[in-house]
Amino acid sequence: MIQGIGASFGIAIGKAFVLPNWEWDLPEQKIDVADLAREFDRLYEGIRTSKVEIEQMKDELREVVGTEESYIFDAHLAILEDPVFMNEIQGIIQRQYKAAEVAVKEAIDHFVTMFDLLDDEYMKERALDIKDVGNRLLKHLLGAPEITLPADTQPFILVAKELSPSQLAHLNPKHVLGIATLAGSTTSHSSIMARALGIPLVVGLESKLEDAIQTGDYLILDGASGIVHLEPDTELTKHYSELHALQKEATQRLKGIIDIKPMTKDGKEMELAANISSLKELDVALSSGTNGVGLFRTEFLYMDRHRLPQEEEQFEVYRSVADKLEGRPLIIRTLDIGGDKQLDYFELPEEENPFLGYRAIRICLDKTDLFKTQLRAILRASCHGKVKIMYPLISSIDEVRAANALLNEAKQELTEAGHRFQEDIEVGVMIELPAAVMIADLLAEEVDFFSIGTNDLVQFTLAVDRMNDQISHMYEPFHPAVLRMLKQTVEAAKRAGIHIGVCGEMAGDLRALPIWLALDVDELSMSSNAILPIKERLLRLKQEDSRSTFDELLACRTSKEIHEVLARGYDSRSASTNALA
Ligand code: PEP
Ligand code: MG
């Protein structure tokens, strides 16, 4: 057994194909002064061809995984236009009389070594980008064929030292059962793409794999635990085959209820929506029969890139999501960075308490251009579906009014520019701070809907950092204080007659379903794989029974008592489907 890092969920069982590293046969002799111009011509021609090829790959990838993943190749195009990289290559040709390909190889090595030495994951990823794009350029200069994958259609597990985004882009997910790489991190471009393509991936196997695996070896790869088994015995193969089959079977069984309306036995309808952060995730959501998107975490559009996304790029993504939803509601949450979500190119200050610091709506109300760019993009997409805007981390009426004033400015700017948008677009807030709960009655008069962000609400109500392992046992969604917060919020929304949803992890927790039914919330938004298990349970419950359960819950003095009450109405069949989800 070899332990790596699980970077993309799923089990793969099959034969290995070990991808050889690109090795180059470079000319050793120096060039004549008279040939300098020819070398520069060859270099520029190679750059032109590489750019065309990258643009083509970007287009292909956009078809497969969506616009935002395809922007990965913008980083590659930027390298080919980077004056520092280019000056280095030109300098080697001009001053050392070396052939274009030798100069390119030396420049790649120079920058890769430099970035690798830095103790910074982001720079290490950039080193990978330089290597990838540099190898493409070398390939054109040398006329070397690209390493090809096996042409036959027998699916395989790909084993590589490292896998570049452009290599991944060429893969057909139907032929690749899984991927194992020596290098890599879960946040690399390649890992993001593997997840988006649904290919199980284990990274960080380092020296453990070197030379150990040959093409044709039999492997089992578990993308959840990060484990790779080399030449497993029959017992292990049987175990994983069964696990694989169970996963498929559970998914298949639940598919049977996709078209059934989410409604309890006594007629309470509940919208079951999806939380997404990319277009590919939307495809998974649609295949789970989602009623819409209750939370589009847009910050992921801003992450893993070199600069802020422009209005046009954002508009394209929002519009594609709206188009694909075909009229189903789409709640787009405005930028929620800060805390654990940092942008490499956006210098956020070092803070003692980043979760209580400069983040989310606070940044947006400060950097108004950044905020209005996003608002304009969302507004423009509003003509393509039932788009709504949601502000995160709201703690006061002032913030809502300030955000709405900027929204009005954005509308004005669009009108002047001749763009169409939904003038009466719905605006809502996340209720995820105790302050927002306490003024929920006032907030309800200012907005069209609420969505309860239980992840942060639990964290802030209990003062338990949601990222801190040491106190994770204290992170208790089923705490009497949290129950009271939820009740107060929903009652305020109901009194004001506004739509009320839940989009934190509790929305997809089977145990919490009676609470939502008793409170009569309108919508639960969750990760796509929880939608069908929640629906299956909803179909078997009665809202009436949930109300008496909730009365019992309110009388509980401790979390333990709450868990005991909820466990009584919770059968193990549902629990197993949730575990597999
Ligand atoms: C939440 O806080 O519950 C929520 C949905 O937002 P996030 O998890 O993105 O902070
Ligand atoms: Mg939150």
Tell me what pLDDT residue 579 has. Answer: 30
* Residues identified as active-site: 189, 503
Cα 220 from chain centroid (whole Å): 26
456 close to ligand 1 (CB < 6 Angstrom): yes
Distance 376 CA to ligand 1 centre (A): 23
359 close to ligand 1 (CB < 6 Angstrom): no
Containing 170, the helix (H) or strand (E) segment is helix 165-170
Distance 456 CA to ligand 1 centre (A): 6
Distance 159 CA to ligand 2 centre (A): 37
Q: Pick the residue whose CA is nearest to atom 8 on ligand 1.
A: 455
In order of 34, 191, 428, 493, the CA distances from 431 in angstroms are 71, 32, 10, 11
Q: Pick the residue whose CA is nearest to atom 7 on ligand 1.
A: 455
Distance between the two ends of the chain, CA-based, in angstroms? 26
Q: Pick the residue whose CA is nearest to atom 3 on ligand 1.
A: 453
508 close to ligand 1 (CB < 6 Angstrom): no
453 close to ligand 1 (CB < 6 Angstrom): yes
101 close to ligand 1 (CB < 6 Angstrom): no
Which atom of ligand 1 is the closest one to the Cα of 299? 9
The Cα–Cα gap between 453 and 297 comes to 12
Per-residue pLDDT of the chain (581 residues; tens, 9 = 90+): 888 888 887 899 999 988 766 556 677 778 888 888 998 999 999 999 888 888 887 776 666 556 666 667 788 888 898 888 889 899 999 888 998 988 998 888 888 888 777 766 677 777 778 887 888 888 888 776 555 555 556 889 998 887 776 677 667 777 899 999 887 766 565 776 676 567 899 988 876 665 678 888 999 999 878 899 999 999 999 999 999 898 788 878 999 999 999 999 999 999 999 988 877 778 888 988 999 999 998 987 887 667 899 999 999 999 999 999 999 999 999 999 887 777 777 777 788 898 899 999 999 999 999 999 999 999 999 999 999 999 999 999 999 999 999 999 999 999 999 999 999 999 999 999 999 999 999 999 999 999 999 989 999 999 998 867 678 789 899 999 999 999 999 999 999 999 999 998 899 889 999 999 999 999 999 888 789 989 999 999 999 999 999 999 999 999 999 999 999 875 544 433 333 22
Distance 493 CA to ligand 2 centre (A): 19
In order of 1, 3, 26, 174, the CA distances from 228 in angstroms are 6, 6, 36, 20
The Cα–Cα gap between 89 and 105 comes to 9
Tell me what pLDDT residue 472 has. Answer: 76
Give the mutation target among 335, 430, 460 for probing the ligand 1 site: most ligand atoms within 8 A of CB: 430
If we measure between CA atoms, which residue out of 370, 360, 357 comes closest to residue 399? 360
3-state secondary structure 212-268: CCCCCCEEEEECCCCEEEECCCHHHHHHHHHHHHHHHHHHHHHHCCCCCCCECCCCC
In order of 300, 320, 376, 512, 541, the CA distances from 311 in angstroms are 15, 14, 7, 39, 45
452 close to ligand 1 (CB < 6 Angstrom): no
Tell me what pLDDT residue 151 has. Answer: 55
Reported in sequence order, the residue ranges of 337-425 that DSSP labels E, i.e. its strands, are 386-391
Which atom of ligand 1 is the closest one to the Cα of 275? 5
204 close to ligand 1 (CB < 6 Angstrom): no
511 close to ligand 1 (CB < 6 Angstrom): no
The Cα–Cα gap between 324 and 61 comes to 17
Tell me what pLDDT residue 580 has. Answer: 29
Tell me what pLDDT residue 192 has. Answer: 61
Which atom of ligand 1 is the closest one to the Cα of 336? 9
Tell me what pLDDT residue 397 has. Answer: 98
396 close to ligand 1 (CB < 6 Angstrom): no
The Cα–Cα gap between 44 and 463 comes to 58
Rounded to 10 degrees, the C-alpha dihedral 271/276/278/283 comes to -50
| Domains (range + CATH), the chain | 23-142 (1.10.274.10), 156-232 (3.50.30.10), 252-258+267-578 (3.20.20.60)
Least distant ligand from the CA of 299: 1
Give the mutation target among 303, 334, 336, 475 for probing the ligand 1 site: most ligand atoms within 8 A of CB: 336
Give the mutation target among 455, 461, 464 for probing the ligand 1 site: most ligand atoms within 8 A of CB: 455
503 close to ligand 1 (CB < 6 Angstrom): yes
432 close to ligand 1 (CB < 6 Angstrom): yes
Sign of the Cα torsion 427, 433, 436, 440 reads positive
Distance 6 CA to ligand 2 centre (A): 25
304 close to ligand 1 (CB < 6 Angstrom): no
Q: Pick the residue whose CA is nearest to atom 4 on ligand 1.
A: 453
Distance 413 CA to ligand 1 centre (A): 30
Distance 76 CA to ligand 1 centre (A): 32
Tell me what pLDDT residue 563 has. Answer: 96
Distance 367 CA to ligand 1 centre (A): 22
